[in-house]
Amino acid sequence: MNPSPSSHPAVLLIGHGTRLAAGVAEFHSLAAQLRQALPDRTCLAGFLELVEPGLPEALETLWQQGFRRITALPALLMAAGHVKNDIPAILNAFQAEHPELEITFGADLGIHSKLLRVARERIESIEIEFGPDYDRRDTLLVVIGRGSSDPDANSNISKITRILWEGMGFGWAETAYTAVAAPLMADALERAHRLGFPRVVVFPYLLFTGRLVEQVRATVAAYQDRHPDIQAVVAPYLNAHPLVVETFLDRLAEAEYGEAWMNCQFCSYRTPVIGREDWQGAPQTGHDHDHHDHEHGHHH
């Protein structure tokens, strides 16, 4: 006799998986924070590779526990091959074998104002190393994404770079990738070096530690060795920050309540966007030029 299924769907957190024990521990720490935030829900983790349980095993466990509704959330920053192809294929195959099961697949973490706040915090935490005369206007920001063969996923990293650049006031910014997509990190650092910035902040837009984070650190260390005249630092990656947990909770609510977000998640009038905090809650009014001209100082 199966236990009676909970009134809420089970939450299945899908991790990529890594050989680095530290990265697995960070993922489990995030899963634990999610469980704390959802005390009345069952939250289970499953991995795409390298870590047990695999995704099919995790689904089987929830099925055996009597769940007939599962909300699957990818712990991935971009919707490239895994989110658009591999994961749905596994979920669909399992659902086909268990017709009474209903699986809802949530969106990738993607670009979210809360993740951008974490990014800003991570960047600020490393800027302390530059000392008291530090000026962002003399600094190059390089944002590193995982890189994929999906131009849409890659362009999301550019969007993150743009928002951080504009919102934080860096002198210049570049986007680079750890693999697959151009420019690769090492090339981007060498080319951007010609711009002549004395300081470089490298921010890895990555969730957890793993070989990619190690690769970023090694690439930046090699660049610093070649160019002792500049100062290059690597900011911490996102990791299991409370706002990352909140982003998962938002994605869970969207998956389960089916909110269609246009781009309102990025509307500066609704949510604090970096550098535009004063816009939140501002009245959205049309421009009536005759009335506003004196306020804007158009006429001298």
What pLDDT, in 10s, does the model give residues 118-142? 999 999 999 999 999 999 999 999 9
Q: What single letter denotes the amino acid at residue 161?
A: T
Q: What is the pLDDT of residues 22-80, one digit of tens each?
A: 999 999 999 999 999 999 999 999 999 899 999 999 999 999 999 999 999 999 888 66
Residue 190 lies inside a defined structural domain of this protein: yes
Q: How confident is the model at residue 83 (pLDDT cuts 50, 70, 90)?
A: low
Residue 85 pLDDT grade (very low, low, confident, very high; cuts 50, 70, 90) = confident
23 touches 50 (CB < 8 A): no
Helix (H, G, I), strand (E, B) or coil at 226: helix
Q: List pLDDT tens digits, range 138-194.
A: 999 999 999 988 898 899 999 999 999 999 999 999 999 999 899 999 999 999 999
Give the length of the chain: 300
Burial 90-101 (b: 16+ CB within 10 A, else e): bbeebbeeeeeb
Is residue 161 within 8 Å of residue 173, measured between CB atoms? yes
In a domain, 265, yes or no: no
Q: Which residues are within 8 A (CB) of 192 and not within 5 positions of it... i.e. 6 or more apart?
A: 140, 142, 172, 174, 200
Residue 299 has pLDDT above 60, yes or no: no
Are the C-beta atoms of residues 143 and 175 closer than 8 Å to each other?
A: yes
pLDDT at 78: 82
CB count, 10 Å around CB of 63? 18
pLDDT at 279: 64
What pLDDT does residue 290 have?
47
What domain count does the chain have?
1
CATH code of the domain in which 128 resides: 3.40.50.1400
- Give the span between the Cα atoms of 36 and 80, in whole angstroms: 29
pLDDT at 297: 43
What is the predicted pLDDT for the residue at 155? 94
- 184 domain residue, yes or no: yes
pTM of the model: 0.83
| 187 found inside a domain | yes
Question: How many distinct helices (H) and strands (E) make up the chain?
Answer: 10, 8
Q: What gap in Å lies between CA 48 and CA 75, rounded to an integer?
A: 11
Quickly list H helices, 40-143: 55-64, 81, 87-97, 113-127
What does the alpha-carbon distance between residue 176 and residue 154 come to, in Å, rounded to a whole number?
A: 9
**DSSP character for 171?**
S
With respect to residue 276, please indicate whether it lies within any of the assigned structural domains: no
Q: State pLDDT tens for residues 196-225.
A: 999 999 999 999 999 999 999 999 999 999
Q: What is the pLDDT of residue 275?
A: 74
Provide the residue range defining the domain that includes 150: 113-234
Give the Cα separation of 81 and 63 in Å (integer): 26
DSSP 32: H
- Is pLDDT above 70 for 267? no
Q: In this structure, is residue 290 part of a structural domain?
A: no
> 125 burial class (0-12, 13-18, 19+ CB within 10 angstroms)?
exposed
d(CA 199, CA 140): 6
61: in domain:
no
**Is 90 part of a structural domain of the chain?**
no
Cα separation of 171 and 140, whole Å? 6
Q: What is the pLDDT of residue 291?
A: 44
In a 13 Å sphere around the CA of 190, the CA atoms on its Cβ side amount to: 8
Reduce the DSSP state of residue 188 to 3 states and report it: helix
Q: Which residues fall within 8 angstroms of residue 144, CB to CB, at 6 or more apart?
A: 157, 175, 176, 177, 178, 185, 202, 203, 204, 205, 206, 216
